[in-house]
Structure 1
Amino acid sequence: VFQLKRARSYAEERCSSTNLTSDVAYSVHRCKIIPNLIRIPTQSAHSNRATYHPTIHFTDQAIIGWWCDCFTGARFLGCCSHIASAI
């Protein structure tokens, strides 16, 4: 539940709006070698100097896996707020 609450805050901050029901500008980097691998640079909520890079591997039907370089993103179960925000 904590990750979902933080995810909304990250998305609102990223879009400079609390209205997340319309189209928003989000920087997404695609991998040139693996077409279904994306990375979304996300500013840390705690430090202006830190940027995290949630990375998501997916198909048309499902999310295959994810990884984030934040401390929480290294967990084996669940996901961090950066991944939840990107999804």
Structure 2
Amino acid sequence: MLHMSKKKNELMERVSNENLHSRSGRWQTVDGDDSVEDFPKLSEEDIRDITLGVYQLKLAKSYTEEHLENDEYYEVMQQGHQLIRVRMASRHTRSKSHNLWITYDDCCIKAWYCICKAGAQIVGTCSHISSVIWFLSFYQHQSCKGNQAKQWRDYVHDAN
């Protein structure tokens, strides 16, 4: 039996070994009309496979919409061929931000790492990673970018 806890996040090690967390570069603010040109286009089903279910996908939509409504866009830095670094505001603490890295190729997401408590997972993603993936690979390619994120409430039922 494979023990996932022993498997390491190789992108986390790369960020540490190459000192990518402290490298400077030009940040680009990315909103609903901008994009990382070579980031792969994915379906929501593809993203659900990465996030391992609908919960993180619904949270990604909510997180994205909250950022767009509050003019707290994603700040993206290209840190190599098909490697991006994203800085985004925390939903819970205004003065805090999260840094995350995503590697990809022409058709898929290869690896991810976020500095949050759950961000070094190799199976499934934290909400920050899922939000960025959903935003860059799906939302930006939609012709009607209405308030898709708030539709998640349609699936929440009264617990009583």
Contact 2:74 2:88 in 1 (8 A): no
Q: TM-score, normalised by structure 2?
A: 0.44
**Residue 15 (1) aligns with residue 68 (2):** yes
Q: Deviations over 1:52-82 (max 9, x none)?
A: 1121001112211011010111223210011
3-state SS, counterpart of residue 75 of structure 2: coil
Return 5+ residue gaps in structure 2 as ranges: 1-53, 134-160
Choose the corresponding residue for 1:5, options 35, 58, 65.
58
Q: C-alpha root-mean-square deviation of aligned residues, in Å?
A: 1.8
Could you say what secondary structure the match of 1:53 adopts? Answer: strand
Instruction: Report runs of 4+ in structure 1 exceeding 6 Å deviation.
Output: none
Shift, 1:4, TM fit = 1.9
Whole-angstrom CA distance in 2 between matches of 1:26 and 1:49: 15
* Number of aligned positions between the proteins: 78
Q: Which residue of 2 is the match for residue 49 of structure 1?
A: 95
User: Identity over aligned residues, as a percent?
Assistant: 40
1:39 to 2:85 alignment: yes
Given the two structures, how large is their TM-score scaled by the length of structure 1? 0.76
Q: What is the deviation of 1:43?
A: 1.1
CA distance in 2, matches of 1:11, 1:79: 15
- In the other structure, the counterpart of 1:20 is none
